[in-house]
Amino acid sequence: MRPSRPDLSLIKAVEGQDGCPRCGGAVFAAEQMLARGTVWHKTCFNCKECHRVLDSVLACDGPDHDIYCKLCYAKKYGPKGYGFGGGSAFLQCDAIPTGKEPAFININTRSIKAQEGQGCPRCGGVVFAAEQALSKGREYHKLCFNCLDCKRPLDSMLACDGPNEEVYCRACYGKQFGPKGFGYGHSPTLVSVDGAHTDAPLAEKLGLKAPEGEGCARCGYHVYAAEQMISKNRIWHRRCFNCGDCHRSLDSTNLNDGPDNEIYCAGCYRKHFGPHGVGYGLGAGALCTF
């Protein structure tokens, strides 16, 4: 059986001596808690609103000379008003959470209009310091700082400033303002930014013909620095850098330069230029290369 809780107010404090501010009873040394120069009973040292038991870390002294937990103190005396605590670290100070509140309260950022030429470029409302997001010298609300096309929330890593003075995510910026037209995004690394696929003639895809002895060793067209592959002091397009026989894609680990100025994979190189003749590869582990 649990012992009954003693009534601490039965022993009143001596006149002229400070007692517990909550119950007015005398506070003895073994049970006292200190807050702002006043002494409290341990059992009385709880939040005035929610009655949560407090300690030196959780206690907040209110201007009414009472004590509160941090949440109730913020509710009664914390900052309030339009735009406070918006964003991912949302803090609501006008009600104690019960678990039934909506996950997010949509704030009307247009409620306080800014002067002409100032404020958020998206909604025209005043932008306060706690909620601003900067882009190209302009201030947005955090709620308004999203892609104009897909509405994806942005940050300093994702935001792209468009020539129309709007902000976009990288994908939508590439679609709207990225390079388009002939020769862009040639296969096999084709990138389509307009949603359409046009199959241009091969001669148009390859670009400009290089002078004799220059350019790609396979197709003869100009090779730019971003797409070049090097083999035996010759340059190739990345798309042309494949085996001359089986057309397998090559890299520096499986490349073989043939005597006919072509490049081959290891298997095709052995087939064409490996050792042949009577008695080669006979036995249980015979290897036929022709």
Closest residue by Cα to residue 116 from 128, 126, 108? 126
**Structure confidence at residue 147 (pLDDT):** 92
Report the distance separating Cα 101 and Cα 127, nearest Å.
26
**Structure confidence at residue 187 (pLDDT):** 43
Distances (CA, A) of 230 to 121, 201, 208, 209: 50, 26, 19, 19
Mean pLDDT of 101-128: 76
Closest residue by Cα to residue 21 from 37, 6, 10? 37
Mean pLDDT of 188-194: 47
**Structure confidence at residue 90 (pLDDT):** 47
**Structure confidence at residue 87 (pLDDT):** 46
Could you list the residue range(s) of the whole structural domain that residue 260 is in? 204-273
Mean pLDDT of 114-136: 84
Q: Worst-scoring range by mean pLDDT, 49-58, 108-117, 182-191?
A: 182-191
> Which of 20-46 are b and which e, b meaning 16 or more Cβ less than 10 Å from the residue's Cβ?
bbbbebbbeeebebebeebbbbbebbb
Mean pLDDT of 108-129: 82
Report the distance separating Cα 110 and Cα 107, nearest Å.
9
Mean pLDDT of 202-225: 75
| pLDDT tens readout for residues 15-57 | 666 788 888 888 888 888 888 778 888 888 899 899 898 888 8
pLDDT reading at 188 higher than 50: no
In a domain, 260, yes or no: yes
* Number of compact structural domains in the chain: 1
The angle at the Cα of 40, spanning 34 to 41, to the nearest 5 degrees, equals: 125
**Structure confidence at residue 6 (pLDDT):** 65
Q: In the predicted model, what is the mean pLDDT of the chain?
A: 76
Which is more confident, 290 or 146? 146
In a domain, 82, yes or no: no
In a domain, 181, yes or no: no
Closest residue by Cα to residue 258 from 236, 231, 284? 231
Strands 256-257 and 263-264: antiparallel
Q: What is the model's pTM?
A: 0.32
At 58, is the pLDDT very low, low, confident or very high (cuts 50, 70, 90)?
A: confident
In a domain, 249, yes or no: yes
At 168, is the pLDDT very low, low, confident or very high (cuts 50, 70, 90)?
A: very high
Answer positive or negative: Cα dihedral of 14, 19, 22, 23.
negative
What does the block give as tokens for 270?
């052995």
In a domain, 233, yes or no: yes
Q: Worst-scoring range by mean pLDDT, 69-78, 79-88, 100-109?
A: 79-88
In a domain, 131, yes or no: no
**Structure confidence at residue 280 (pLDDT):** 58
CATH number at residue 251: 2.10.110.10
